[in-house]
């Protein structure tokens, strides 16, 4: 069942998103919803005449609402107005903090989000489950209908393909995320681990968040500024300690991550030796501060492992090279799966051009392959398959961006002469046809 077959001509799919790209970790909690609050919100919005379907999700890094609406203006206004009311924030302020995506852009956002391409840490393994929970809650509340059922499952399929075929997310490039990965590698299960984060700045805050998401038994936070510690603890559920208690809590923790701007060492070998009776047998210290917070001499103590910033950076550089290739492949997979939805909610003449461009490129590919086999009959079957695979992939990559832009460009979408101009630009075989009536085009938008 394609998206087009499920869609009423007057309905649109929209996404209202507040996320880490526009908001800091400090401000995001202002727009969060507890589960009961979220349910009440969805019920209220679903009761609006302009909203046919609605789902929502809240994480540490984002608040997202997905909706099928009869009017983009009225549906988006209802959602944004209710978010402002819930958060006690003015409409003017909230409009600067969120994005409203419509139809093609909203669909692509859903697929990219589910595939962890929109996450603060690209490849975040948790986001797929979080989007599934949002979809399942909408089903339970009876706020999901045909369009949601035609969009969310394909998005899940795309995300699984990305995870299976690219390995995206296996190599972190964020220093804070890498620090927590080292913890997992060192301890395995973190649910029995007591972790201390020293420093409540950006790096410390991110590390605390990742440790919380990793499920540590206890998260301890200490910082010179008590207010900053309390603020971070509220966001992560950590327990605050005064800075003068740092020696005791560091010595008694399984893992300590330090991320301050202190000019001298905060944790020394003598400090651990003074508190030897409190120490676990297996301790991990991770120093992500510059200059270093932890004395390198700690590595000489039996039962202590020290990871410094240089080791984390070296791993990040290796992972970054892998990540670039993985993201390119992931984007191609997402676009392939979106294409399978069938015609998008776009004017039919533009969709025909996009489809025709793909078909024309495929005909060129086939023609060149036949010519190549005639010119090189000595090629083995294995060589033919390898060349065919590479050429097909090259053809798809060349037309991927132009075809996507055709379907998303607002000016092209509203131009009644677009089909003729674009067909003449590319080739007659790409769908040159009689120019649609302008009124008919507008009715399709």
Residue pair 238/199 in contact by the 8 Å Cβ criterion: no
Question: Is the same domain home to 53 and 98?
Answer: yes
Question: Length of the chain in residues, anyone?
Answer: 445
Question: Is the same domain home to 8 and 140?
Answer: yes
Q: Which helix (H) or strand (E) holds 270?
A: helix 269-274
- Structural domain for 367, as ranges: 348-444
Question: Is the same domain home to 352 and 428?
Answer: yes
pTM for the full predicted model: 0.55
Selection from 275, 288, 286, 284 nearest residue 304 by Cα: 284
pLDDT (0 to 100) of residue 444: 33
Question: Is the same domain home to 86 and 29?
Answer: yes
Question: Is the same domain home to 439 and 328?
Answer: no
76 in a structural domain: yes
Reported as a single tens digit per residue, the pLDDT across 97-142 is: 788 998 888 999 999 999 999 887 677 778 899 999 999 999 999 9
Return d(Cα 5, Cα 154) in angstroms, integer: 15
pLDDT (0 to 100) of residue 103: 85
Stretch 382-407: mean pLDDT, rounded?
83
**DSSP state, residue 436:** P
In this prediction, residue 240 has a pLDDT band, given cuts at 50, 70 and 90, of: very high
Reported as a single tens digit per residue, the pLDDT across 59-103 is: 877 889 999 999 999 999 999 999 888 888 777 777 777 889 988
Does the pLDDT value for residue 354 go beyond 80? no
pLDDT (0 to 100) of residue 402: 78
Structural domain count, the chain: 3
Question: Is the same domain home to 81 and 208?
Answer: no
Question: Is the same domain home to 57 and 204?
Answer: no
Structure tokens at 387: 């060349």
Question: Is the same domain home to 193 and 240?
Answer: yes
Structure tokens at 202: 């950006």
Lowest mean pLDDT among 130-144, 236-250, 396-410, 430-444: 430-444
Does the pLDDT value for residue 152 go beyond 50? yes
pLDDT (0 to 100) of residue 141: 96
pLDDT (0 to 100) of residue 211: 94
In this prediction, residue 445 has a pLDDT band, given cuts at 50, 70 and 90, of: very low
Question: Is the same domain home to 90 and 151?
Answer: yes
């Amino acid at each position: 069942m394609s998206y087009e077959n499920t869609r009423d001509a007057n309905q649109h799919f929209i996404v209202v998103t507040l996320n880490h790209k526009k908001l800091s970790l400090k401000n995001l909690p202002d727009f969060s919803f507890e589960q009961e609050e979220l349910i009440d919100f969805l019920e209220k919005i679903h009761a609006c005449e302009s909203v046919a379907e609605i789902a929502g999700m809240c994480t540490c890094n984002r608040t997202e609402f997905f909706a099928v609406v009869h009017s983009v203006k009225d549906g988006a206004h209802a959602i944004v107005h209710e978010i402002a009311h819930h958060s006690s924030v003015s409409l003017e302020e909230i409009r600067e903090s969120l994005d409203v995506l419509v139809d093609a852009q909203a669909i692509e956002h859903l697929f990219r989000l589910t595939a962890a391409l929109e996450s603060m840490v690209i490849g975040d393994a948790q986001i797929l489950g979080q989007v599934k929970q949002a979809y399942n809650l909408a089903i339970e509340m009876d706020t999901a209908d045909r369009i949601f059922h035609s969009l969310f499952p394909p998005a899940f399929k795309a995300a699984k393909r990305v995870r299976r075929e690219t390995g995206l997310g296996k190599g972190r490039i964020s220093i804070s995320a890498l620090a927590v990965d080292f913890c997992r590698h060192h301890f395995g299960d973190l649910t029995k681990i007591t972790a201390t984060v020293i420093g409540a700045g950006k790096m410390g805050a991110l590390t605390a968040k990742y440790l919380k998401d990793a499920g540590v038994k206890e998260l301890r936070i200490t910082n010179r500024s008590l207010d900053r510690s309390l603020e971070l603890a509220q966001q992560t559920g950590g327990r605050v300690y005064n800075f003068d208690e740092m020696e005791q809590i560091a010595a008694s923790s399984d893992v300590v991550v330090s991320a301050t701007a202190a000019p001298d060492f905060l944790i020394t070998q003598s400090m651990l030796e003074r508190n030897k009776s409190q120490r676990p047998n297996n301790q991990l210290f991770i120093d992500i501060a510059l200059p270093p917070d932890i004395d390198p001499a700690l590595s000489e103590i039996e039962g202590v492992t020290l990871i410094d910033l240089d080791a984390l950076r070296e791993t990040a550089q290796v992972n970054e090279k892998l990540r670039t290739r993985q993201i390119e492949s992931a984007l191609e997979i997402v676009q392939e799966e979106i294409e399978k939805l069938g015609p998008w909610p776009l004017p039919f003449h533009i969709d025909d051009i996009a489809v025709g461009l793909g078909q024309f490129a495929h005909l060129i590919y086939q023609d060149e392959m036949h010519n190549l086999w005639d010119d090189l009959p000595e090629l083995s079957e294995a060589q033919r398959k390898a060349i065919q695979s590479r050429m097909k992939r090259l053809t798809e990559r060349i037309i991927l961006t132009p075809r996507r832009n055709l379907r998303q460009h607002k000016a092209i979408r509203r131009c009644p002469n677009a089909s003729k101009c674009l067909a003449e630009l590319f080739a007659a075989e790409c769908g040159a046809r009689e120019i649609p009536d302008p009124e008919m085009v507008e009715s399709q938008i």
